[in-house]
Structure 1
């Protein structure tokens, strides 16, 4: 089992590493630079070439059954699920086969509306303590499910 973190903008890297350490699971923090190597024997920093989807491509090529990816990128989550892995966002919401299609469709719709100028803004609500707690609970639940063979 490996925990992959789409690390460039992930606000829960330290928390994820602590959970992985407790489960004795290796962690791959994947980014295009700018991060320091974590102080954990379980964690490895993977630097990919700069590019819009370089980190996503690396994760999608390496994830497989029994692995988890932390990402807020819905297309990457979809690719992880198709490779047999699990995916969760930084707020603790698991992506699964039942929800990923509608999440992709909504993402595409919002992108189209913003590019057409009919909708302004973007981004989500501010990240808070409750989100951090929900993330920790969601990640722990995923680890337990994988250990139980689900």
Structure 2
């Protein structure tokens, strides 16, 4: 049963979708961000602000995750930590990351970083679309629905 959504809030484009979903499903959200990103708490959404240090957000999240959580992040390193803690992991585009995905994703991240350090260029992600938002909200609702059958979206 999943009843809390923990959000890597620094670069998350689906914060409003998360708030609507947890409110309709009776869940809660914990949005964690650095001082550089101002988040506003709302009903069923707690905000935690951490130091602006390079990994402060990731370390805070890694220390509070439980197997009852859904972690929302686009950071594959944090996703690996979330999976190790037993959390479900969902990207802002609505892709659920599973144990069998993470090694390949981390290898791809390492390869791209090595290529950039060597002066090469890599393509960034495609533009975020309204369809990405819908897919994300549907997948988050599915993950939370095990907690409560009547999510009212």
What TM-score, normalized to structure 2?
0.89
Unaligned stretches of 5+ residues in structure 2: none
Equivalent position SS for 1:35: coil
> 1:69 aligned to 2:75?
no
Task: Give the drift of 1:36.
Answer: 3.3
Equivalent position SS for 1:5: strand
**Larger relative contact order (Cα-Cα within 8 Å, sequence gap ≥ 6):** 2
Which of 36, 39, 46 in structure 2 is aligned with 1:36? Answer: 39
Check whether the contact 2:71–2:89 (CA below 8 A) recurs between aligned residues: yes
User: Over residues 40-78 of structure 1, what are the superposed CA-to-partner deviations in whole Å (9 max), with x where a residue is unaligned?
Assistant: 220111001111110011011000111011100000011
Equivalent position SS for 1:98: helix
Task: Give the drift of 1:146.
Answer: 5.9
- When the two chains are superposed, the root-mean-square deviation of aligned CA atoms in Å is 1.6
Task: Give the drift of 1:122.
Answer: 4.4
Task: Give the drift of 1:140.
Answer: 1.4
User: Over residues 113-148 of structure 1, what are the superposed CA-to-partner deviations in whole Å (9 max), with x where a residue is unaligned?
Assistant: 11111x214431110111111111221122235669
Distance in 2 between the 1:105 and 1:93 partners?
18
Equivalent position SS for 2:99: coil
Distance in 2 between the 1:21 and 1:134 partners?
18
Tell me how many residue pairs correspond in the alignment: 146
Q: How is 1:1-150 mapped onto 2 (pairs within 5 angstroms)?
A: 1-33=3-35, 34-38=37-41, 40-117=42-119, 119-145=120-146
Check whether the contact 2:33–2:39 (CA below 8 A) recurs between aligned residues: no
Distance in 2 between the 1:103 and 1:138 partners?
20
Check whether the contact 1:6–1:29 (CA below 8 A) recurs between aligned residues: yes
Unaligned stretches of 5+ residues in structure 1: none
Distance in 1 between the 2:81 and 2:135 partners?
23
User: Over residues 74-107 of structure 1, what are the superposed CA-to-partner deviations in whole Å (9 max), with x where a residue is unaligned?
Assistant: 0001100100111111100011111111111111
